[in-house]
Amino acid sequence: MTAEVPARAVPGMRGPDVERKRDRARSALVWDVLRKVAAARSAQAGRAVLDIVDVGGGTGGFAVPFAALGHHVTVVDPSPDALAAAQRRAAETQVEVTAVQGEAGELYSLAGAASADLVICHSVLEYVDSPAAAMAAIARVLRPGATVSVLAANAVSAVLQRAVAGRYTEALRLLEEGGAGAGVPRRFTLAGLTSLIEGAGLRAGEAHGIRVFAGLLPAAGADPATADALRALEEAAAGYPPLRDIAARLHVLGHR
């Protein structure tokens, strides 16, 4: 249950140029949105240092960059191995994150009421026993004016990906099932994610599509010469409703 963050966001992170460009094309938008959310929250609360909880944060892909910006960050994840990796990554970056083993549905008992300025919930709702219970627990730890960032797999994209790959029978089955399919991982529509957020007593905010074209064409952006062009295209498409709604992942903000 980890989410990618651009390599440029983590001080000292290394890797081939092509991989960095592919990472930026895939996930830079999410990071940019979260940076803006954090800045707005700091201005609103009058505090430069925020309390951030990354539930299902895995190896710290978002937690460590936020800690590097000076925020207090807690990673909650059921995997002790993932938490250990997050702490190693933090140590390599010379920052600190708090690691807590637990599930999203336990967040209220782990973090406490009204304890967070920002909760990151990426690639989590697909796997939890009850997405509604997880979102309710997240809502309880948000302070007034705080935000949850929800990132989840898109049901519509799953149908399109199979059709583009020539797997028409699978595409038809998923379409008849509403795109979600059976079992886990689950997939969601934008309406479904919005309903979960609002059902927890939060106000649904901005929505973006992540990997609109890269989700349909896995090799897109592999050529360093086209990676920047792909990123520009993805950024332009992310908030354009007809394209946003077919992206591989949906990113929705919820506000307390």
> Domains along the chain?
7-153+189-255 (3.40.50.150), 155-186 (no CATH)
Radius of gyration of the chain (CA): 18
What is d(CA 208, CA 101) in angstroms, rounded to the nearest whole number? 30
The model's pLDDT over 215-228, given as tens digits with 9 standing for 90+, comes to 777 666 567 778 78
Residue 186 has pLDDT above 50, yes or no: yes
The model's pLDDT over 48-79, given as tens digits with 9 standing for 90+, comes to 999 999 999 989 999 999 999 999 999 999 99
The model's pLDDT over 98-151, given as tens digits with 9 standing for 90+, comes to 999 999 999 988 988 899 999 999 999 999 999 999 999 999 999 999 999 999
Structural tokens at position 35: 């940076």
- What proportions of the chain, in percent to the nearest 5, are helix, strand and coil? 45, 20, 35
Model confidence band, residue 180 (pLDDT cutoffs 50, 70, 90): low
Coil vs helix vs strand at 170: helix
Q: pLDDT value at position 1?
A: 41
Q: pLDDT value at position 3?
A: 40
